[in-house]
Chain A
Amino acid sequence: MTLFLRILYCLPVLLFAGCSPRGGRSDVQERLLMHSSFEDLEACSKTHQDNLTTEKAHTGSVSMFVDAQHPFSATYRKELGALCDHRPRRLTLSAWVWVPTPDDDAVIVMALANPSDPDHPIFSKHIFMTPLGSFGKWKRIRQSFELPADIHANTQLILYLWHSNAQSTVYSDDWELTELW
């Protein structure tokens, strides 16, 4: 195949590769359910100021942090029915984290709870930050979760950063919750 024909053949692929990997297909696609770089949260919240900082940020000027004095970050809490118009089976959380050393194993907690008993989750998973290496700089972590069958529209999705066994301050920024649907 000549170079000309190769370029002609690849033209449609080049056109769509950068923006929508499923361009032209109306079936399954990754849908953004929630995103936050914590800039607006810092501007709108009087209660979360202790969990937000301008010391470091992956984008903008604000990130969320946990340390020994602030072991739990601000919490995201939303009913699944407000996020999806159907029963979700699998959600994916992506976040950028800044972890100083391998000993600073903070986690992002993803939990599900019923509104009648919001403090006792029916499902809880941790996203660990140290297994991927890369310390002292921003790195992206991403994990998908299969949701249990006994959920309904009022089930609350809960997300937060937990200092857990970490020794130093751990930062996180640019959270994205997506679903393939």
Chain B
Amino acid sequence: MKKFLLFSACVLGLAACGGGSDAESDPNVLMHTDFESVDGWLPGEQNGGSLNREKAHSGKTSIKVDGTHEFSLSFSKPFGQLHESRPKKLKISAWTFVPDAQSLASIIVSISDPSAPDAKPVLWEALDLGKESKPFGEWKEVSKVITVPANVGPNNKLGIYMWRNSGTKAVYADDFKVTLAD
């Protein structure tokens, strides 16, 4: 009985604390950013940038495109920092807030070669939020699975950003996540 009580105390204590972020607990999650930890560190985003505190799906910060921001803040990581080997397929997901059918944007997923910045990207795919974000005016999770080309190496960079298509009202995105989808 004594041992049971002590064991229960430990189990209950651990359970009450919960786990860390999903990027820490799920080995298939290669990256997850809610943009909180870059807030305050980017001088160009301090006043009126894409990084904003107007709306957020989690925390206080999200990124946006609108009439004055054609492109959002971009997330970019070398594949070598994401995974030890080349993944075959990746699922890119995000939470987006599209105000109405006239304010449309896309999430762009690209793979580029940093040694050839002017060359055509190895991969460039768009996730049209006009098709994916209905109903409008609320946060919705969107996702896209990409096939990573065979010639992608550890120095190639995965880039994710939002691109305004039409309208001037702000379209928001938060909680970018990259997951193995092999």
Contact = CB atoms under 8 A, between A and B. Distances in A.
Interface stretch (A4-12, A101-109, A138-146): A4-12
Contacts of B2: 3-4, 7
Nearest to A74: B41
A17 interface: yes
Interface in A1-48: 3-4, 7-8, 10-11, 14-19, 34-45, 47-48
A7 B6 CA distance: 7
Interface in B27-79: 31, 33, 35-44, 46, 53, 73-77
Contact of B38 (A3, A10, A14, A36): A36
Report, as a range, how many residues of chain B touch the other chain.
20 to 34
Interface of A: 3-4, 7-8, 10-11, 14-19, 34-45, 47-48, 54, 61-62, 74-78, 82
Nearest to A34: B40
Interface stretch (B7-15, B94-102, B141-149): B7-15
B37 A36 contact: yes
Contacts of B43: 47, 75, 77
B81 interface: yes
Contact of B53 (A44, A61, A82): A82
Nearest to A3: B2
A45 B38 contact: yes
Nearest to A73: B41
Interface of B: 1-2, 5-6, 9-10, 12-14, 16-18, 31, 33, 35-44, 46, 53, 73-77, 81
Given A18-B16, A43-B31, 14 more contacts: A11-B5, A16-B13, A35-B36, A36-B38, A37-B37, A43-B33, A43-B76, A44-B38, A54-B81, A61-B81, A62-B81, A75-B41, A76-B41, A77-B46
A45 B1 contact: no
Contacts of B10: 14
Contacts of A41: 37-38, 41-42
A6 B14 CA distance: 20
Given A4-B1, A11-B5, A18-B13, A47 B37 contact: no
Given A7-B9, A14-B9, A14-B10, A47 B17 contact: no
A5 B173 CA distance: 54
Nearest to B40: A78
Contacts of A17: 13
A54 B53 CA distance: 30
A48 B13 contact: no
Given A7-B9, A61-B81, A78 B39 contact: yes
Given A16-B16, A40-B35, A48 B81 contact: no
Contact of A36 (B41, B73, B76, B81): B41
A15 B38 CA distance: 34
A18 B15 CA distance: 10
